[in-house]
């Protein structure tokens, strides 16, 4: 099995609580075969005065997700969802704790049932 990276939109590092357009920082994690490692917190510096879903701002988000196969957010609009989908980034709208997400991903990965890549 191989590892993959995910991004999480969280204001506190405990739960997914931010909408996609609200995320000014993304928490990046690597999901391995048996553990989850925190990689870094990445700043998302959107262009001031523009809506989050403009082409320029979406490219800033995509750059922040450059090595991630998925992002977990509280909510995301259809335009942003489609933009990420077209760039092979899977989006999950969830209302879970990070621990729940990590445990679920690890269990399913070990069973060979879920593959985000």
Domains in the chain with CATH codes:
4-111 (3.30.420.130)
**Per-residue pLDDT tens digits for 61-107:** 999 999 999 999 999 999 999 999 999 999 999 999 999 999 999 98
Would the pLDDT of 29 be above 90? yes
pTM of the shown model: 0.91
Query: 4-8 and 70-73 as β-strands: parallel, antiparallel, unpaired?
Result: parallel
Let me know if 46 is exposed, middle or buried by CB neighbors in 10 A (0-12, 13-18, 19+). middle
CB 6 within 8 A of CB 71: yes
């Amino acid at each position: 099995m191989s590892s993959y990276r995910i991004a999480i939109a969280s204001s506190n590092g405990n739960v997914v609580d931010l909408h996609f357009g609200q995320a000014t920082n993304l928490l990046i994690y690597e999901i391995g075969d048996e553990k989850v490692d925190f990689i870094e917190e990445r700043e998302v510096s959107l262009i001031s005065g523009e809506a989050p879903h403009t082409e320029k701002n979406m490219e800033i988000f995509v750059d922040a997700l450059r090595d991630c196969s998925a992002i977990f957010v509280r909510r995301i609009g259809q335009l942003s969802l489609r933009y990420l989908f077209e760039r092979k980034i899977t989006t999950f709208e969830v209302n879970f704790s990070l621990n729940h997400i990590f445990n679920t991903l690890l269990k399913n990965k070990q069973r060979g049932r879920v593959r985000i890549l």
